[in-house]
Amino acid sequence: NAGVTQTPKFRILKIGQSMTLQCTQDMNHNYMYWYRQDPGMGLKLIYYSVGAGITDKGEVPNGYNVSRSTTEDFPLRLELAAPSQTSVYFCASAMNTEAFFGQGTRLTVV
Amino acid sequence: RKEVEQDPGPFNVPEGATVAFNCTYSNSASQSFFWYRQDCRKEPKLLMSVYSSGNEDGRFTAQLNRASQYISLLIRDSKLSDSATYLCVVNMHSSNTGKLIFGQGTTLQVKP
């Protein structure tokens, strides 16, 4: 029972580089989310998806892109990494009420 | 105004104390409300959903006041293991699960 799996767990990027954070869930959940959490702060919604082929912006979408080609996968793309994107990124999925989270990706942009 | 607001604390309480956290939300059309718990450097996990009639789970009681757009969490007989950050979460859509917005979180430290 894997639940929500995020990769990588840690990553250091140089300014201007690009990368994709992977997120996969095996619970057949319709809803998926990407959040970022800065130190001492709550989670900010970046993008979310209510089903395959549908994505919507959250609170802080600038600098990110997502796609949802399958129910299972919801990758988050950073095209031109900036120091302001240094954060912990959490992916989550939900069916009805409870959202299940991955273990997070700690990203540092230098 | 932020969509979901919490007092960040920290709340420092002795074991056995009763502590209450508050949360306000801006969208009166919001339908679903939750409290999540987050331990240091870990992912958030659902503590309890918040129902209109209020609900209780052991030492934890959650209440919703739709008129004031206010949610609360009461913890009785605090344990050391209750030390964590408590996150208020609001579903901003009319559907059961949609745009889930988190508050800043309230940090609780229970001391012996």
CA distance B49 to chain A (A): 8
Residue with tokens 């959040």: A35
Question: Is there a cis peptide before residue A8, judged by omega within 30 degrees of 0?
Answer: yes
Distance from A7 to chain B by nearest Cα, in Å? 14
Residue B59 has pLDDT above 60, yes or no: yes
Task: Give pLDDT, residue B1.
Answer: 72
- pLDDT of B95 above 80: no
* pLDDT range class, residue A56, cuts 50, 70, 90: very high
Nearest CA among B109, B106, B112 for reference residue B47: B106
Decide if A42 and B87 are in contact by the 8 Å CB cutoff.
yes
Q: Are B100 and B41 in contact (CB under 8 A)?
A: no
Strands B19-25, B70-75: pairing is antiparallel
pLDDT value of residue A29: 92
Beta strands across the sheet bearing B55-57 = B4-6, B19-25, B70-75, B60-65, B55-57
How close, in Å, is residue B102 to chain A by CA atoms? 6
Mean pLDDT computed over B42-66: 93
Q: 3-class DSSP state for residue B22?
A: strand
Nearest CA in chain B to A103: B43
In the block, tokens 């989270």 appear at A101
Among chain B residues, the shortest Cα distance to A50 is held by B98
Residue A96, pLDDT above cutoff 60: yes
Q: Would you place residue A19 in the very low, low, confident or very high pLDDT band (cuts 50, 70, 90)?
A: very high
Identify the bridge partners of residue A38 per DSSP, sorted by sequence position: none
Work out the angle at residue B75's Cα, subtended by the Cα atoms of residues A88 and B8, and round it to the nearest 5 degrees: 40
Predicted confidence band of residue B64 (pLDDT cuts 50, 70, 90)? very high
Evaluate if residue B96 carries a pLDDT over 60: no
Predicted local confidence at residue B53, as pLDDT: 85
Residues 6 or more apart whose CB falls under 8 angstroms from that of B78 comprise B13, B14, B15, B16, B17, B18, B19, B108, B110
> Quick one: pLDDT band at residue A34, thresholds 50, 70, 90?
very high
State the pLDDT at residue A1. 65
